């Protein structure tokens, strides 16, 4: 199994504070927590703030469950880039005798993996993945393309960690832009400023940087360098815990990667369709707010409480 | 893999209407759909209605992701009762050479299940499952116990079907009561009427019935009979498609099942802690509303639109 990455002293301490305050609830598995009343109010408050900001983009809401057809991660090359982060769903397909044997082995704490077989589903590693084939199925895109608002939706990454900001399943509120290359780049650059404004507007010391994805292995280091040099990924960072800032929002410009895989095309045959997405990490933003303003939202600055509808 | 259960003619037709209207979006996998703007507005509107109704119960919000520690379904006997519905999460734990081989096999459409091993996580089959150990960890319960509102949270059931009301992952908004036996029964009986009122209040022809869970195999038929004769499970049913009504809410009285497994105790040593839960199936209720009032919510009766905050 994926190696557990221990938290720093500061991260361990923050997690203890969060659970003591009932903001998070331990499940016994690192990176898997329940979320208490105040945590949820803040998370949903920021979620609504993003949705309201997206209204100006004439964004269309399109939401998906955390289940992704397995063939999508096979087609997309995800297993080349992030094999260590993927989660696949297995299920039982036997008869009554096998079911009884499976249950006996499982309740005795034995290894019952042999009774499970791979289903046609995996967990969504990125909230925007199901959007591309759904839009491609509609046919060619008119000039100006589309903007999709996924709402706050779950993504899975198999990376157990002691850092409370590194969850195995978390909400990303994503906006996805599919259009002409220059339209997509302009949208991304505009949102870089709007996202910073949104995050600074609730009192976060948020800053922008060029970034790369956590590609796997030696080949991955090359991919990461190329992604950086082309400035295809931006992040907005905020100090939550020592020793380093945490990415609380990220922007990915995929150029024609998804268009090529799913056949996304503009009506104008001379213009390729490009894609970009912007994701707000809702649990991380909630943690950044708790660290910045304190663990009790009732004492937060009035303007922050107003913006987050904490009434 | 689990056998695909084809939809009835009416179910197939309804699914086509829903996708044509952009309310649902096909993913290529039965029971896995995207949800469009209007679908989400109705779903979230009803979700808020439940949360508002639960305020009177002084309910505490406690929400979980769809990830459940695998040991919970091992401990709970879930694999005895519902082995066919469970989903377990597998992941990759190899080196670079194995990762490359896995990616090659996967992109060629081959069987790459051998590269995946069982993780310590499964998918939550019922939204209330993580609540019990979380409350038990707090210690003994004072008189009157607690009421938990999970919000609209995802549950997984591996049962691919052509019926648009039978999703593989769906939102249940659950209320969980943990208290003295008579308090729990009184709460359940009170909510039976309140839930009917809530659902009829938005125009649904909702009716109450005694029910049983879909237990697996021959032993399962005995369990189902016993559950019915003890009236441990109620459902609220509504006609969505032919040939039969669909359960849109359900009530389960677990007596001391979860208390025994997780050590839930009342402070009073002479009184056992019992548990019950009530779940509203948000996608099913949305579908019932769409079938009852029509596929375009802008034309729905004014009072229904008001209650669902469709503004």
User: Three-state DSSP class for B131?
Assistant: helix
Question: Residue A20 burial (CB < 10 Å; 0-12/13-18/19+)?
Answer: exposed
Interface test with B, best of A52, A121, A135, A217 (most B CBs within 10 A): A121
Interface test with A, best of B23, B51, B89 (most A CBs within 10 A): B89
Report CA B141 to chain centroid distance, whole Å: 26
List, for residues B212-250, the tens digit of each pLDDT value.
998 998 888 989 999 999 999 999 999 999 999 999 999
A186–chain B nearest CA distance, Å? 25
B233–chain A nearest CA distance, Å? 24
Entry pTM: 0.97
Please report, in tens digits, the pLDDT of each residue of chain A (311 residues total).
Answer: 568 999 999 999 999 999 999 999 999 999 999 999 999 999 999 999 999 999 889 999 999 999 999 999 999 989 999 999 999 999 999 999 999 999 999 999 999 999 999 999 999 999 999 999 999 999 999 999 999 999 999 999 999 999 999 999 999 999 999 999 999 999 999 999 999 999 999 999 999 999 999 899 888 898 999 999 999 999 999 999 999 999 999 999 999 999 999 999 999 999 999 999 999 999 999 999 999 999 999 999 999 999 999 98
> At residue B201, does pLDDT exceed 70?
yes
What ipTM, to 2 d.p.?
0.96
Phi, psi (5° rounding) for residue B116? -105, 140
* Nearest-CB residue to A65 (from B63, B113, B154): B154
Q: Which chain A positions have a beta carbon within 8 Å of B65's beta carbon?
A: 32, 154, 167-170
* Nearest-CB residue to A37 (from B61, B134, B158): B61
Q: Which chain B positions have a beta carbon within 8 Å of A88's beta carbon?
A: 89-91, 113, 116
Does the distance separating the beta carbons of A66 and B66 come in below 8 Å? yes
Cα B35 from Cα B32, distance rounded (Å)? 10
Does the distance separating the beta carbons of B89 and A87 come in below 8 Å? yes
Q: Which chain A positions have a beta carbon within 8 Å of B91's beta carbon?
A: 1-2, 84, 86-88, 158
Interface test with B, best of A29, A33, A51, A91 (most B CBs within 10 A): A91
The confidence score (pLDDT) of residue A219 equals: 85
The confidence score (pLDDT) of residue B56 equals: 86
The confidence score (pLDDT) of residue B1 equals: 53
Which residue in the block uniquely carries the two structure tokens 């090659």? B104
List, for residues B87-103, the tens digit of each pLDDT value.
999 999 999 999 999 99
Chain A residue closest in CA terms to B121: A29
- HEC string of A36-101 equals EHHHHHHHHHHHHHHHHHHHCCCCEEEECCCEEEHHHHHHCCHHHHCCCCCCEEEEECCCHHHHHH
Quick one: average pLDDT of B285-307? 98
Chain B residue closest in CA terms to A131: B34
The confidence score (pLDDT) of residue B55 equals: 87
Q: Which chain B positions have a beta carbon within 8 Å of A94's beta carbon?
A: 83
List, for residues B137-189, the tens digit of each pLDDT value.
999 999 999 999 999 999 999 999 999 999 999 999 999 999 999 999 999 99
> At residue B120, does pLDDT exceed 70?
yes
The confidence score (pLDDT) of residue A1 equals: 53
Q: Which chain B positions have a beta carbon within 8 Å of A127's beta carbon?
A: none
Cα B113 from Cα B95, distance rounded (Å)? 16
At residue B3 the predicted structure's pLDDT band, cuts being 50, 70 and 90, is confident
The confidence score (pLDDT) of residue B203 equals: 98
Q: Which residues contact B35 (CB under 8 A, 6 or more apart)?
A: A62, A63, A64, B23, B24, B25, B43, B283
The confidence score (pLDDT) of residue A3 equals: 84
């Amino acid at each position: 199994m994926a190696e557990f990455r221990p938290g720093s002293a500061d991260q361990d301490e923050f997690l203890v504070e969060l659970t003591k305050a009932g903001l998070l609830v331990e499940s016994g598995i690192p990176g898997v927590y329940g979320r208490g009343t105040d945590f949820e109010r803040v998370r949903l408050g920021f979620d609504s703030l993003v949705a309201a900001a997206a209204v100006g983009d004439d964004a269309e809401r399109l939401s998906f469950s955390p289940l992704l057809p397995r063939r999508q991660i096979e087609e997309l090359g995800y297993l080349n880039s992030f094999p260590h982060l993927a989660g696949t769903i297995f299920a039982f397909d036997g008869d009554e005798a096998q079911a009884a044997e499976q249950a006996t082995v499982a309740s005795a704490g034995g290894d019952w993996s042999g009774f499970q077989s791979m289903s046609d589903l995996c967990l969504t590693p990125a909230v925007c993945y199901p959007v591309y084939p759904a839009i491609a199925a509609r046919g060619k895109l008119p000039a100006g393309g589309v903007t999709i608002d996924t709402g706050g939706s779950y993504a899975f990454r198999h990376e157990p960690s002691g850092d409370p900001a590194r969850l195995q399943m978390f909400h990303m509120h994503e906006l996805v832009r599919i259009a002409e290359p220059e339209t997509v780049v302009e949208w991304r650059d505009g949102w870089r400023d709007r996202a910073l404004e949104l995050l600074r507007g609730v009192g976060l010391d948020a800053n922008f940087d060029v970034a790369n994805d956590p590609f796997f292995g030696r080949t991955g280091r090359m991919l990461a360098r190329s992604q950086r040099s082309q400035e295809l990924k931006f992040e907005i960072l905020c100090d939550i815990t020592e020793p380093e800032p945490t990415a609380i929002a990220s922007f990915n410009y995929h150029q024609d990667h998804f268009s090529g895989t799913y056949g996304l095309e503009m009506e104008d045959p001379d213009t390729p369709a490009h894609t970009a997405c912007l994701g707000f990490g809702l649990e991380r933003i909630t943690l950044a707010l708790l660290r910045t303003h304190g663990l009790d939202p009732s004492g937060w600055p009035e303007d922050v409480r107003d913006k987050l509808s904490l009434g």
